[in-house]
Structure 1
Amino acid sequence: MSKTIVDEYPSMKVARESEEKAEVTPLKLGERIKSIRTKLGMTLEEASQQTGLARSTLSKIENEQISPTFQAMQKLAHGLHIDMPQLFEPPKKIQATGRRDITRKTMGKPHPTQTYEHELLATQLSKKKMMPFKSRVRARAFSEYSDWIRHGGEEFLLVLSGEITFYCEFYEPVTLNEGDSVYYDANMGHMLVSTSAEDALILWVTSAG
Structure 2
Amino acid sequence: MSKDTLSEYPSMKLAKESSDESIAPMQLGERIKQIRSKLGITLEEASHRTGLARSTLSKIENEQISPTFQAMQKLANGLQIDMPQLFEPPKKKVATGRRDLNKDGEGKPHPTPTYEHELLATQLSNKKMMPFKSRIRARNFEEYNDWVRHDGEEFLLVLSGEILFYSEFYEPVKMSEGDSVYYDANMGHMLVSVSEEDAHILWVTAR
When the two structures are superposed, what TM-score results if normalisation uses the length of structure 1? 0.67
Equivalent pair of 1:53/1:72 in contact (CA under 8 Å): no
Looking at structure 1, the residues matched to 125 and 111 of structure 2 have their Cα atoms a distance apart, in angstroms, of 21
Cα deviation 1:85-142 (Å, max 9, x = unaligned): 5754542221221111110011212211111111111122223222111001011110
Structure 1: stretches of 5+ with no match in the other structure: 1-23, 43-49
Looking at structure 1, the residues matched to 149 and 33 of structure 2 have their Cα atoms a distance apart, in angstroms, of 40
Report what 2:128 is aligned to. Answer: 129
Looking at structure 1, the residues matched to 55 and 119 of structure 2 have their Cα atoms a distance apart, in angstroms, of 53
Structure 2: stretches of 5+ with no match in the other structure: 1-22, 44-50
Q: For 1:169-208, what aligned pairs fall within 5 Å after superposition? A: 169-208=168-207
Looking at structure 1, the residues matched to 63 and 143 of structure 2 have their Cα atoms a distance apart, in angstroms, of 62
Report what 2:116 is aligned to. Answer: 117
Q: For 1:27-46, what aligned pairs fall within 5 Å after superposition? A: 27-33=26-32
Q: For 1:47-196, what aligned pairs fall within 5 Å after superposition? A: 51-52=52-53, 59=59, 62-63=62-63, 67-73=66-72, 82-83=79-80, 87-88=86-87, 90-196=89-195
Amino acid at match of 1:52: A
Report what 2:4 is aligned to. Answer: none
Structure 1 residue 166: Cα displacement: 1.0
Cα deviation 1:19-39 (Å, max 9, x = unaligned): xxxxx9774213435667999
Looking at structure 1, the residues matched to 61 and 169 of structure 2 have their Cα atoms a distance apart, in angstroms, of 46
When the two structures are superposed, what TM-score results if normalisation uses the length of structure 2? 0.67
* Secondary structure of 1:128's aligned partner: coil
* Secondary structure of 1:111's aligned partner: strand
* Secondary structure of 2:113's aligned partner: coil
Equivalent pair of 1:33/1:62 in contact (CA under 8 Å): no
Cα deviation 1:23-62 (Å, max 9, x = unaligned): x9774213435667999897xxxxxxx953767x965884
Which one has the largest radius of gyration?
A: 1
Decide which moves more: 90-99 or 152-161. 90-99
* Secondary structure of 1:143's aligned partner: helix
Amino acid at match of 1:173: P
* Secondary structure of 2:31's aligned partner: helix
